[in-house]
Amino acid sequence: MNSIIIFIVGIFCLAVIAGVLQPSKKKKTRRSKRTKNPAIKKSANTGFNRSSSTCRTDEVILTLPLDKMTGAEFERLLTLYFRDNGYTVKEVGVGGRDGGVDLVITDKRGEKTAVQAKCYADHNKVQVMTVRELVGAKRNHDCILSLIVTTSDLTGPARKEADQFKVDYWHGGLVDSKLRSWGKWTPSNRKVKTTTTKKERSLSKTVSNIKCSCGAAMVKRKNKAGAEFLGCSSYPTCRKTKAI
C-alpha cells in the first residue's frame, strides 16, 4: 500500500515539474523573437547619406556636366546655386522621398517657392503628372510659388498645365545659361570631333528668322541622311531642333 502511494506521489511531482519547465521555454522563445525585431527596424530606418556614392562632394559636382550627374547631385548643385543667389534653401527631397518637392527656397522677403528638379536626358521630358504633383505638394510646405527645373524640357501638355496653374519652369538651355553665369559651375569642356563637308558648313551658317525657345536664332543643318532641319545656333548648349 505504501509503495502505491509513493508511486502516485512521484507521478504528481513529475507532472508539476514538467508544468513549471514548459512555460520557461516559451518565454525564452518569445524573448529571442523580440531581440530580432529591433535589428530589422534599425536597418529599415537607415537614412540617405549624402557622402555615399549616390552623391559626390560639392567640389566634384561643380565640375560635372549635367548629363554626368545623378538626380541627387543635380539637386545639390541647385542648392548651391540658390544659396549663392540670396535664398535660404531647405533640401526636402534627399534620397528620392520628395513627395513632389525637392527644394524649398525662401527669398529675402520670406516668400517660399517649391522646386522640383529633374535631371533628364534630352529625349526624356517632364510629364504632366510631375506638374500636378508639384501643384498639390507645394501646399504641404506652405509655398506660394512653384518652379520646375529640368535639364531637358516639358512636354506640350505639361507646359499647358504649368501655364494654367502658374508653375514657372526652366528648361535645359536656360538652366545651362544660368549656371554658367553663376561662375562657380565649371564643367569640363568636351571637344566633339565632327566631319562636315563645305556644303554642310555653308548650310549651318544660314540663319533663319525662326527663334529657338532659348531665344537664340535657328540655323539650317543637315542630318546624316542628308535631310535639312533647323537647329539652335547655341548648340551644344541648347540642342533644340525643328523640322523644315
- Give the contacts of 231 (CB within 8 A, at least 6 positions apart): 204, 218, 219, 221, 239, 240, 241
Quick: pLDDT tens for 58-110: 999 999 999 999 999 999 999 999 999 999 999 987 655 557 899 999 999 99
Q: For residues 131 and 165, is the Cβ–Cβ distance under 8 A?
A: yes
Distance (Å, whole) CA 31 – CA 28: 5
Is the model's pLDDT at 182 over the cut of 60? Answer: yes
Higher pLDDT, 29 or 89: 89
Q: For residues 126 and 120, is the Cβ–Cβ distance under 8 A?
A: yes
Higher pLDDT, 166 or 94: 166
Say which range, 22-26, 40-44, 73-77, 224-228, has the weakest mean pLDDT. 40-44
Say which range, 24-28, 56-60, 154-158, has the weakest mean pLDDT. 24-28
Cα–Cα distances in angstroms (integers) from residue 30 to residues 41, 73, 151, 158, in the given order: 17, 45, 54, 55
Is the model's pLDDT at 50 over the cut of 70? Answer: no
Output the pLDDT for position 18.
62
Assign 28 a pLDDT band (cuts: 50, 70, 90): very low
Output the pLDDT for position 20.
55
Quote the cell numbers at residue 176. 545651362
Higher pLDDT, 89 or 232: 89
Which class for 96: exposed (0-12), middle (13-18), buried (19 or more C-beta within 10 A)? exposed
Quote the cell numbers at residue 81. 546655386
- Give the contacts of 203 (CB within 8 A, at least 6 positions apart): 220, 221, 222, 228
Query: How confident is the model over 40-56, as a mean pLDDT?
Result: 44
Output the pLDDT for position 15.
67
